[in-house]
Structure 1
Amino acid sequence: MINKEEFLLKAYKLGIIKFGDFTLKSGIHSPFYVDLRPLASSPELLRELSNHLLYLLKDSQYELICGVPYAALPMATAMSLESDVPLIVKRKESKGYGTKKMLEGIFEENQVCVLVEDVITSGKSLVETIEEVEKEALKVKDIVVVLDRQQGGIELLKNRGYNVFHLFSIGEVIDILYKHSLLSAEEAKKIKEFLEGKPMVSIQKVTRSSYEEKLKVQTHPVAQKLLQIAMQKESNLIASLDVTSSAELLDLAEKTGDQIVAVKLHTDIISDFSSEYVSELKNIAKEKNFLLFEDRKFGDIGNTQQLQFEKGIYKISEWADMITSHVIAGAESVKVFGETTGVVTIAEMSSKGTLTDGAYKAKAIEISEKAGNVIGCVAQSKLPETLLLFTPGVNMTSSGDSKGQQFNTPEKVFKEYHTDFIIVGRGIYASSDPQAEAEKYRKAGWESYKNNV
């Protein structure tokens, strides 16, 4: 393997770096432009590059290789062939047909995957890729990059706990080209001044609105009440009490009521449902100051949803402060729940292989923002600030179960997703001391919220 300086000089002849005045995707003018895609047309250089990148990872332990689409895919493929480590492919967008997978290949849960990127600027494309890979229950620890533009991307990823290895920085490239008279002193100076100013990417901490700020813009009475309870109790914890007997549920509600802002229910699993049970649950909610959140996940045509909401043995409309609903039937179907109940739409689910892809999420958010009775969404990623984010699948001790559920920690969902309310189920109701566990989650959720405001 030739040294990396010789490799750069060979690659430079392919036109991978151009100097002049370029308008980047961000709208910023840059004195240089990097495009490593021509390397895919040189098997010799692609092989050399893959060996350089593999050498950077010599002390890393990984079981899969994934290239960030699209420019890094040939590099990742070459690395896979050179190392015999299996390759997986992350799509840039989901297909609208077939399996609609975002990640293609053969892999198993908890395998460690190294990511390959050609050029890093802000780190945004890598963050998006990491999110998609981790949604499939894979682990990402290390990232290898060919060229760092020195504009904050590596620092961003390191702050999130990832190891980032790079073959070149743009400063190194400039020094090598100047050394070999491929760049004039004036050009080198201009680029160095540009880099010192770092005008393109701001690495300021991205913050989310506080509950006080959100209260000012929320108009729905249920959203307002939920935020007020959160501030009063210093809690953003919703307990999902998925038990099957009314006595057990009432006992859990009594024990955890001081720590939570709402109880999330699946009423149709209660084997001995009765109006007396509902009355007693409402009394506990009033005494302990929390809301009743029926997770019915309505998903039918409007007329059927209205009947399910108002009629039958459950009469959900008479006691639920909040309900969940899919938007699969369109915007009109959400209107049937009226204006007094807070509707939380399903934008994303936390289970492995969920079909709520990026396109579906975007449409669900669009419908939710326009509906006057929708207060927020269930999701596993950021939402517009006008909607409250409810994140299920939160657990501090487990990464998932055998039925496809995937868990995240409170710190992760507040820091990365900017969630507003965490939903915890088995971490509380399946414990030997639900009250103590609820307090543990209340503290963890509130501290994570405060740390990220």
Structure 2
Amino acid sequence: MASQLPPWKQDFLRAAIDNGILKFGQFELKSKRISPYFFNAGDFYRADLLRAISLAYAHTIRDAATTGPNPLDFDIVFGPAYKGIPLATSAVDKLAELDPARFGTISYSFDRKEAKDHGEGGTIVGAPLKGKRVLIVDDVITAGTAKREAIAKIRAQGGEVVAIVVALDRMEKLPSPDGDDSKPMPSALGEIRREYGIPIYAILTLDDIIEGVRGIASEEDIRKTEDYRVKYRASD
């Protein structure tokens, strides 16, 4: 059966699989859970792979900005240092290619890990954030700590964070404080949504992966991934 994913998602997923960025097997996560799949957005470092992920971000952002009851409106794409920097800058370039009339003047910014104490100084590189609607682009949300730091920096500069876009939503619940994985728990994305009242979009979800790899991955890998989804699916 043909995948129901849009062609651009299929292309992105194929690039991830063909280049070993999405892998199946046994992988220990920071949470100590053993995952049957692993996705490393940091491996999109080759020119053709950077094009693949930046186009996928651009399509995701364009869809969010042009569809649904509350279309996304933003002025700046912000990439938290360090992984977010090439993602934000390349996504802005591809957005302008997809729809120059709408996105031709969209800007990018990113932060420094340490403030510059000479020249123009400061902690932000690129477009000034004051009074602007800011879209954060990054690879994943694990515990949410890095995203909270980025939001705080943007707000300190006078910007308004309107949304976050990530490469993958694992749809996975946070570990229970008492270690009981059978308890309903929200995801890290869900916690950020509730805490800040902003939408979070993903290029791919775990549901997308399971649908998109049928006929590509082995039936055993798909079954294990489906079982993992059932066991650790978030309550939000």
Fold match (TM-score > 0.5):
yes
Secondary structure at the aligned position of 1:131 is classed as helix
Decide whether aligned partners of structure 1 residues 32 and 100 sit closer, same or farther in structure 2, where only a CA change above 3 A counts: farther
Compute the displacement of 1:65 (Å): 0.7
Higher relative contact order (CA 8 A, sep 6+): 2
Confirm or deny that 1:94 pairs with 2:94: no
Superposition deviation, residue 110 in structure 1: 2.0
Q: TM-score, normalised by structure 2?
A: 0.73
Per-residue CA distance 1:124-147 (angstroms, 9 max, x = gap): 322221112112111001111221
| Higher gyration radius (CA) | 1
Identify the residue that residue 64 of structure 1 maps to in structure 2: 76
Name the counterpart of 1:153: 188
Pick aligned residue for 2:22 from 11, 14, 17: 17
CA contact (8 A) 1:50 1:78 kept: no
SS in 2 for 1:89: strand
- Give 1:176 deviation, angstroms: 1.1
40, 45, 50: which is aligned to 2:45? 40
Say yes or no: does 1:196 pair with 2:230: yes
> What is residue 187 of structure 1 aligned with on the other side?
221
**Superposition deviation, residue 108 in structure 1:** 4.5
* DSSP-derived class of the 2:151 partner: helix
Shift of 1:76: 1.0
Which residue is equivalent to 2:163?
142
Residue aligning to 2:99: none
Equivalence for 1:129: 150
Contact conserved, 2:12 with 2:53, CA < 8 A, in 1? no
User: How many percent of aligned residue pairs carry the same amino acid?
Assistant: 22
1:163 aligns to 2:168 (yes or no) = no
Measure the CA separation in 2 of the matches of 1:124 and 1:192. 28
1:80 is matched with which residue? Answer: 92
In structure 1, the gaps of 5 or more residues are: 204-453
Q: Is the 8 A contact 1:112 1:139 kept in 2?
A: yes
1:96 Cα offset (Å): 7.6
Tell whether the 8 Å contact from 2:134 to 2:162 is kept in structure 1 after alignment: yes
2:83 aligned partner, one-letter code: A
Give the letter aligned to residue 155 of structure 1: G
Structure 1 residues 47 and 169, CA gap change in structure 2 (3 angstroms): closer
Q: Give the aligned residue type for 1:36.
A: A
Letter in 2 for 1:8: L
Contact map agreement 2:58 2:92 (CA 8 A) in 1: no
* Unmatched segments (≥5 aa) in structure 2: 1-5, 66-70, 97-104, 173-186
Deviations 1:353-381 (A, max 9, x none): xxxxxxxxxxxxxxxxxxxxxxxxxxxxx
Kindly indicate whether the alpha-carbon contact (under 8 Å) linking 2:8 and 2:56 is maintained by their aligned counterparts in 1.
no
Helix, strand or coil at the partner of 1:162: coil
Distance 1:100 1:17 in 2: 39
* TM-score normalized by the length of structure 1: 0.40
